[in-house]
Structure 1
Amino acid sequence: MSARSKRRRSSFEVEALSERGLTEKQQRILFAVGTVIAVLVGGFGLTAIVSTLGVSQPPAEQGTQADSIGLLHPDEYQAWVSPKLFTPIADRRADAAPLRAEEVFGVKTLTSGKLTLKLAARRLDGACAPVMWGGDVLAKLAGAGCTQAVRGLYLSADRRYIAQYTLFNMASSKAADAFVQEMSTLYRGGGWVRPLESKAASFVPDGYTEASGHAMGHYAGFVWVGRADGQEPAPKDDFVSLILGVRGAEKAIYRRVAAVTGPAAPPAK
């Protein structure tokens, strides 16, 4: 191939634009104008110009795996609706006091069998949207009347496991039930809880994790666990104890039920 031929192939001709009927001259004008506008308005100009010439951009996928690129979500998920035990706090009006981080994550060490979990980080957010990612999930969350989200991140004493517990303050038991159940279809690509950042512990990108959602009256709690190295659980890994351990944070909700119902009546003589 001659040097001249090589130079001709390095022109502004783009196959995708040629297929849409744009001549090489039109393509040169397009790129020249687009470059100037991109400099002026931060890169948006070229997209707008291409659109006006009939060269369409593929629509962004909503609520699909495309949303989850680079964002963590569990590999397995189970949902549980609210038991009757939490009926006294089925409506937030009966339990109006806002959550506090120290109320849910005041205990720095949780134990379950031989497993010990140590609190690595905790955070209370006065809004729920910043705690989750995914357009579909955020749309569901907006309709649930969520006002608060509190997260706690744990690392096992042997540094083998990592676990995060997230508690959402919803408007009602109906909203909490619906949300944990809807996550059964949304967790893989539609959205999930954002992990807390900590120097002590973090979920491994693309590592294996498991999760579950638990409605408790007008609260929705999400358990998220995995091995610290991101590997799938081996026969000796006790994820059951891990899940039960991190759910120790739910004692705060049981205390709220007791606050509404009052102390138990003494046994009859």
Structure 2
Amino acid sequence: MLTEMGMPPERQRLLVIIATVVGVIAAGVGFVSVVRSLGTYQPERQATAAVLAPDAVLPAVFHGWESPKLFDPVAERAKDAKPLTEKEVFSQKELTVSKKLKLKLAAKKLDSDCTQALQGEELLQLAEDAGCTQTARGLYLSSDGRYVGQYTLLNLEDAESAGELVEQLKVLYRGGWVQPLSSGKAVFPPGGYSEAGGYALGHYVGLVWLGRVDGAEPTAKDDYVTLTLALRGAEKAVYRRVVSITGPSS
């Protein structure tokens, strides 16, 4: 047809090349349009974070520590099979920070279903893999009304699982964390600043969570180290279990 129209062979080849290029470009544009219509891929970590409630309160900072040898006697739940009780973990209604400052227990809860105390798909799966059977949570308010804190103790299968959970939380804590207890006296303010730490204690994991009631970042006057040590008073329950196995002489 092109020849009949009087177009030389050289121009015919050029026209074919141009038409081919235009066709490829058009096909590419169409392909991109189709791909865009299918939506964008979200990485797995983002999808995990999305399962959290929109107003989920999470710590801004997290540090984790492995289990000291002191807790080797309770490295396996099989050798420490008695379940935790609320009275055992939260027998103290007040934890001493200093002569003038106390942390007062505002709420407590013991769950045999760990999914009731944790949030975030990856953390829930990690806890399940670790054989989590109990979570004990205690919410505290400082006597001056300035600080709110929560201590959570997880009952896992063994020390290896506890250490792995703490290690993984160094990455996962912004997409999975403990559920805060609710109380009219103390609450972690949404959007507020808070800090947390994880401690492997044999087959247990202790999670400390602290913040100011007003949600502000700490200043030089806010001694979070001393507050953390006081909040870890709930760990006495684990120390008592070690002694019950090794004897007072240890």
TM-score normalised per structure 1: 0.75
Match of 2:241 among 247, 256, 261: 256
Query: What's 1:71 paired with?
Result: 56
Query: What's 1:28 paired with?
Result: none
Do the aligned residues in 2 keep the contact of 1:62 with 1:136 (CA within 8 Å)?
no
**Within the alignment, does 1:220 sit opposite 2:205 as a pair?**
yes
Could you tell me how far 1:59 is from its partner in structure 2? 5.7
Match of 1:153 among 136, 139, 145: 139
**Within the alignment, does 1:234 sit opposite 2:216 as a pair?**
no
Match of 1:144 among 105, 124, 130: 130
Could you tell me how far 1:113 is from its partner in structure 2? 2.3
- Which amino acid is the alignment partner of residue 71 of structure 1? A
- Which amino acid is the alignment partner of residue 131 of structure 1? A
Could you tell me how far 1:58 is from its partner in structure 2? 5.1
Q: Distance in 2 between matches of 1:243 and 1:136?
A: 26
Q: How does 1:16-165 map to 2 (within 5 A)?
A: 56=38, 62-64=44-46, 65-68=49-52, 69-114=54-99, 115-165=101-151
Of the structure 1 ranges 233-242 and 177-186, higher mean CA displacement relative to structure 2 is found in 233-242
Could you tell me how far 1:235 is from its partner in structure 2? 1.1
Query: What's 2:171 paired with?
Result: 185
SS of 1:220's partner is strand
Q: What stretches of structure 2 of length at least 5 have no aligned partner?
A: 1-32
Could you tell me how far 1:67 is from its partner in structure 2? 4.0
Q: Distance in 2 between matches of 1:139 and 1:146?
A: 10
- Which amino acid is the alignment partner of residue 187 of structure 2? S
Could you tell me how far 1:234 is from its partner in structure 2? 1.1
Could you tell me how far 1:61 is from its partner in structure 2? 5.6
Could you tell me how far 1:55 is from its partner in structure 2? 5.6
SS of 2:122's partner is helix
Percent of aligned positions with the same letter in both sequences?
Answer: 49
Could you tell me how far 1:156 is from its partner in structure 2? 0.1
Do the aligned residues in 2 keep the contact of 1:61 with 1:67 (CA within 8 Å)?
no
SS of 1:63's partner is helix
SS of 1:212's partner is strand
Q: Which whole-Å deviations, capped at 9, do the CAs of 1:120-145 have from their partners, x for residues lacking one? A: 00000011122111111111111101
SS of 1:118's partner is strand
- Which amino acid is the alignment partner of residue 229 of structure 1? D
Q: Distance in 2 between matches of 1:77 and 1:122?
A: 23
Tell me the matched-pair count: 213
SS of 2:103's partner is strand
- Which amino acid is the alignment partner of residue 113 of structure 2? A
Could you tell me how far 1:63 is from its partner in structure 2? 2.9
Q: Distance in 1 between matches of 2:170 and 2:95?
A: 27
Q: Distance in 2 between matches of 1:84 and 1:208?
A: 33
- Structure having the higher Rg: 2
Q: Which whole-Å deviations, capped at 9, do the CAs of 1:165-224 have from their partners, x for residues lacking one? A: 0000000000000001100000112x1111001111100001000000000000001000
Do the aligned residues in 2 keep the contact of 1:62 with 1:135 (CA within 8 Å)?
no
Could you tell me how far 1:62 is from its partner in structure 2? 3.9
Query: What's 2:229 paired with?
Result: 244
Query: What's 1:200 paired with?
Result: 185
Q: Which whole-Å deviations, capped at 9, do the CAs of 1:57-113 have from their partners, x for residues lacking one? A: 556664324344321110000000100000000000111000001110111000022
- Which amino acid is the alignment partner of residue 179 of structure 2? R
Q: Distance in 1 between matches of 2:43 and 2:189?
A: 25
TM-score normalised per structure 2: 0.81
Q: What stretches of structure 1 of length at least 5 have no aligned partner?
A: 1-18, 21-53
